[in-house]
Structure 1
């Protein structure tokens, strides 16, 4: 039996998303027949002690406090970036210059101009990229897209999307990198997920009317004082799609009581769909073709008929989890690296989402509709 080629991973950052990426790398080879063998080579953190602890906890061979040495290491094939948003560009460009494939958690970069530079550099170097939008890997979103494209909803008229959480709802919560104007704000941080889902299901957004508001104007700075907040706590937008449909999205990180509400509703001439991330192994379908007196939203539960659910569990209705979606994302990315084929959600698509974010922000400032480039 021929040994599979190795894919050696260098991870930068060990916070929430760093751990999620590690779980994806760990479980993907056990769930999927990957064309390459994943090896956790080196992890970088802010101190040598933290890096050593992370290496031991996550199963990496080595730890380092110098991410640049990780990027320069000829033994590493993929640089995985889960550091704060404002650092993505420098790290990614260094990795691309070193000939590495790059896996970067969203948002790709604080500015669309930065994201464009990153995408163009990756394309020129011929490396394979991935931006972490793992909610799109949910089999139920795949089913929704399939139903829309098959015409089961008829002509699509309307879309409503929402990503709401409450991790910034407490005004006593300190100012953090998420509040940095160079890479923060609710629209960029979580509204980007709502925008990615909207375009995945509905196709291109052509025009936007934005409304980005700051509800908590200052936060503790950690030194006994306060620091002004210059980014949005809530970012909303009306949307016009190329297919003629109209819609809206919202990114809200002060939605008290919401921990993970990533929802959408789609309305067509023959039916409708409703989905909530809070019950993300379910999709609800309404058919206008049902007989009068028999109409209503029916629940479709995820099961082996909805690939790749069956690789995780042979029984329907037993549900997937957040980290399972990361495993699906990793599998798609590894397949693209091995084949040299299309990237599932590469830097060019990450640029697209950042372009939408910036166009909505500019529309909000101008209080006017804006055409998306």
Structure 2
């Protein structure tokens, strides 16, 4: 763990160098040039599936050392924080061993594919007394924070409705699509893989979910691998969910699909209030649309708010409004939150304990789909 009185750097160990691994590396390498920090990240060690892949990735991403054995990384005394960007099933064993070695842990979502593992990870983190953060990076968007504040301030009145979606088409083809994502223990299905983002986002905006009723569907009971071999599939491709929030007088609708043909990044929501409404989609992440009922009749309609320095921390990236933030910028904001938590500036924005609440909602959704009944979320 980092001693804030003695250390000016934070040794980073990254496990995995794919899409998310590269995003983590870019964020760690860039964050110190965007934000003032009490300690700078040091790209120390990278682990991947074998030594050759790890060495190539370490060279490309700027890490000092590499290994084909992640066990070596999580035990290394030069590592202060372990960043885990591997397939979902590997999160638990990697995080648990890192925690046992006193490391801070930055883990991609979902926390795990099972509630049992998510609970074990959270308990281990609390026992270790370290900082944890789960990569729900879409919540780092300044415009999403603006929406949360509008809701809290009553800007659109009492909240009376919420529709949320995470619909994407990257698993929409049956042919040639069989992969690790098709194993329940590996990815957890569409609900865990992408729906966890939507559930966490809805909780971030509206508070805890207490009860759900849901239907999980496997659209393709078989899929072929790239070599043409057919494989049986028993994971959810889609989820339709009704959810109730604590202290909210309505039932929300949540829609998850990774077979939504034609959709690229359809994480979106609409919040309805007694005096207005707010709309957002990640495909236009620098905009929020807001409607207020007190507008003149001939000016009635949604108004677009555009990201700019008025929505922190946008201004740290650019002084001019409308110049746009991107996906990697959200990761940079997330890594700032991690470093601030490690150095005692602020608490982690989404520690394991928060991600565990999302895991409990997903567990209730699976149970509700099996019974067809309203199901309480365990507390």
Q: Same fold (TM over 0.5)?
A: yes
Following superposition, the deviation at residue 11 of structure 1 comes to 0.5
Residues 105 and 133 in structure 2, CA contact (< 8 A), matched pair in contact too: yes
Cα distance between partner residues in 1 of 2:345 and 2:13: 20
Residues 176 and 227 in structure 2, CA contact (< 8 A), matched pair in contact too: no
Deviation sequence 1:150-171 (CA, Å, 0-9, x none): 0111111100000111110011
Cα distance between partner residues in 2 of 1:24 and 1:248: 33
What RMSD in Å do the two structures reach over aligned CA positions? 1.4
Cα distance between partner residues in 1 of 2:339 and 2:170: 32
Q: Tell which deviates more after alignment, 183-192 or 267-276.
A: 183-192
Structure 2 residue matching 1:285: 3-state secondary structure? strand
Residues 4 and 37 in structure 1, CA contact (< 8 A), matched pair in contact too: no
What residue is the counterpart of 1:198 in the other structure?
202
Structure 2, unpaired ranges of 5+: none
Residues 176 and 228 in structure 2, CA contact (< 8 A), matched pair in contact too: no
Aligned residue pairs, count: 372
What residue is the counterpart of 1:277 in the other structure?
282
Structure 2 residue matching 1:310: 3-state secondary structure? helix
What residue is the counterpart of 2:334 in the other structure?
329
User: Where in structure 2 are the equivalents of 1:165-180 lying within 5 Å?
Assistant: 165-180=168-183
Deviation sequence 1:205-262 (CA, Å, 0-9, x none): 1111111101011112456522111111101201111122321111110111111111
Kindly indicate whether residue 198 of structure 2 is the aligned counterpart of residue 210 of structure 1: no
Cα distance between partner residues in 2 of 1:174 and 1:186: 14
> Pick from 75, 78, 94: which aligns with 1:72?
75
Cα distance change, pair 3–117 in 1 and its aligned pair in 2 (3 A): closer
Moved over 3 A (4+): 221-224
Deviation sequence 1:256-299 (CA, Å, 0-9, x none): 11111110000010110000111110000000121222211000
User: Where in structure 2 are the equivalents of 1:200-279 lying within 5 Å?
Assistant: 200-221=204-225, 224-242=228-246, 243-279=248-284
User: Where in structure 2 are the equivalents of 1:74-93 lying within 5 Å?
Assistant: 74-93=77-96
What residue is the counterpart of 1:153 in the other structure?
156
Kindly indicate whether residue 368 of structure 2 is the aligned counterpart of residue 363 of structure 1: yes
Residues 128 and 340 in structure 1, CA contact (< 8 A), matched pair in contact too: no
User: Where in structure 2 are the equivalents of 1:19-38 lying within 5 Å?
Assistant: 19-38=22-41
Kindly indicate whether residue 19 of structure 2 is the aligned counterpart of residue 16 of structure 1: yes
TM-score of the superposed pair, with normalisation by structure 2: 0.96
Cα distance between partner residues in 2 of 1:55 and 1:18: 11
Cα distance change, pair 290–113 in 1 and its aligned pair in 2 (3 A): same
Q: Tell which deviates more after alignment, 183-192 or 294-303.
A: 183-192
